[in-house]
Amino acid sequence: MDLQLTGKTALIAGSSHGLGFAVALALAQEGANLTINSRHKDDVLEAAHRIHAATGARVLAVEANVTDRGAAEKLVSQTVSYFGSLDILITNAGGPPSGSFESFDDDTWQNAVEASLLSHVRLIREALPHLRKSAAPAVLTMTSYSVKKPIPNLILSNSIRSATTNLTKSLAIELGAQGIRFNSILPGWTETERVTVLMKHRADANGTTIEEEFQKQARDIPLGRFAQPEEFARVAAFLVSPAASYINGVLLPVDGGATRGA
């Protein structure tokens, strides 16, 4: 299937590592122009080099922390200045820390709100004037399947990401008449650096190994295994593509069937 992404311009936040990088690479493989970003200059430059070397795509690397108030304006303005347009926005940020409810103070909650909700709000707000000029505008928020199935010891993520999925659904209704599609993609357990860190915390707490914790978690997944980042990325690329032009307001888990609800 031709996803019709050749020549489209996409801004992918939080994209030097993990799922964000995998999505950026998938879009580049489909012919899109990319802006990628990271808090760390060396990381985003290295990621841009890897994507260009693998695909030949045009890639703009921007250092920015999406939790900063000025980051959204910086990312969007540099994208439009460099490529001349913006067709696709994918909002993403690193997940908040793990821990129990009583282990977090107000400042930690506020930091999580900045990353897991307000970074999405600000990027969408900045991008909208440019998306309205696109022939095939799409916004995809990257959240977590924890909004449908809360994950133990991830109270911050479970709570705040739910606000982002409801923001996405609300905007799909509010702005659908303008032709701008809004969807959210909900990754389940995927083999990324962040998940490996979470499994290490579990192993330290339980006196087990990381491998044992991976195996225990996989038993809760009907497919019996964790996803690979590229499996998630291919779904994301489809959702933002013109090939998915009638998909709007969807909160799509990519979790191997781990979400049990209908």
Are residues 202 and 116 located together in one domain of the fold? no
47, part of any domain: yes
Radius of gyration of the chain (CA): 18
Lowest mean pLDDT among 21-30, 177-186, 195-204: 195-204
Give residue 74's pLDDT: 98
Are residues 96 and 201 located together in one domain of the fold? no
3, part of any domain: no
Q: Considering the chain, what percentage of its residues have pLDDT values greater than 90?
A: 91
Are residues 39 and 69 located together in one domain of the fold? yes
Q: Please report which confidence band the pLDDT of residue 151 belongs to, taking 50, 70 and 90 as the band edges.
A: confident
Question: How confident is the model over 119-141, as pLDDT tens digits?
Answer: 999 999 999 999 999 999 999 99
Kindly report the number of other CB atoms within 10 A of residue 5's CB atom.
25
151, part of any domain: yes
Question: What does the CA dihedral 14, 20, 25, 28 come to, rounded to 10 degrees?
Answer: -60
Q: H/E/C letters for each residue in the chain? A: CCCCCCCCEEEECCCCCHHHHHHHHHHHHCCCEEEEEECCHHHHHHHHHHHHHHHCCCEEEEECCCCCCCHHHHHHHHHHHHHCCCCEEEECCCCCCCECHHHCCHHHHHHHHHHHHHHHHHHHHHHHHHHCCCCCCEEEEECCHHHCCCCCCEHHHHHHHHHHHHHHHHHHHHHHHHCCEEEEEEECCECCHHHHHHHHHHHHHHCCCHHHHHHHHHCCCCCCCCECHHHHHHHHHHHHCHHHCCCCCCEEEECCCCCCCC
80, part of any domain: yes
Q: Please report which confidence band the pLDDT of residue 72 belongs to, taking 50, 70 and 90 as the band edges.
A: very high
Are residues 116 and 203 located together in one domain of the fold? no
Are residues 73 and 130 located together in one domain of the fold? yes
Are residues 85 and 196 located together in one domain of the fold? no
Q: Average pLDDT in the 92-103 region? A: 90
Kindly report the number of other CB atoms within 10 A of residue 209's CB atom.
12
Q: Average pLDDT in the 22-32 region? A: 98
Give residue 152's pLDDT: 87
Query: Contact 117/72 with Cβ under 8 angstroms?
Result: no
Give residue 225's pLDDT: 96
Are residues 248 and 169 located together in one domain of the fold? yes
Give residue 260's pLDDT: 84
Query: Contact 25/262 with Cβ under 8 angstroms?
Result: no
Q: Please report which confidence band the pLDDT of residue 23 belongs to, taking 50, 70 and 90 as the band edges.
A: very high
Lowest mean pLDDT among 111-115, 174-178, 196-200: 196-200
46, part of any domain: yes
Query: Contact 184/164 with Cβ under 8 angstroms?
Result: yes
262, part of any domain: no
Are residues 75 and 141 located together in one domain of the fold? yes
Are residues 69 and 141 located together in one domain of the fold? yes
1, part of any domain: no
Query: Contact 239/252 with Cβ under 8 angstroms?
Result: yes
Q: Please report which confidence band the pLDDT of residue 94 belongs to, taking 50, 70 and 90 as the band edges.
A: confident
Full domain range(s) for residue 212: 191-226
Whether pLDDT at 262 is above 90: no
CATH number at residue 121: 3.40.50.720
What length does the chain have? 262
Are residues 170 and 72 located together in one domain of the fold? yes
Structurally, how many domains does the chain consist of?
A: 2
Give residue 1's pLDDT: 86
Give residue 43's pLDDT: 97
Q: Average pLDDT in the 86-101 region? A: 93
Name the token pair of 116.
């897991």
Are residues 74 and 108 located together in one domain of the fold? yes
Are residues 75 and 195 located together in one domain of the fold? no
261, part of any domain: no
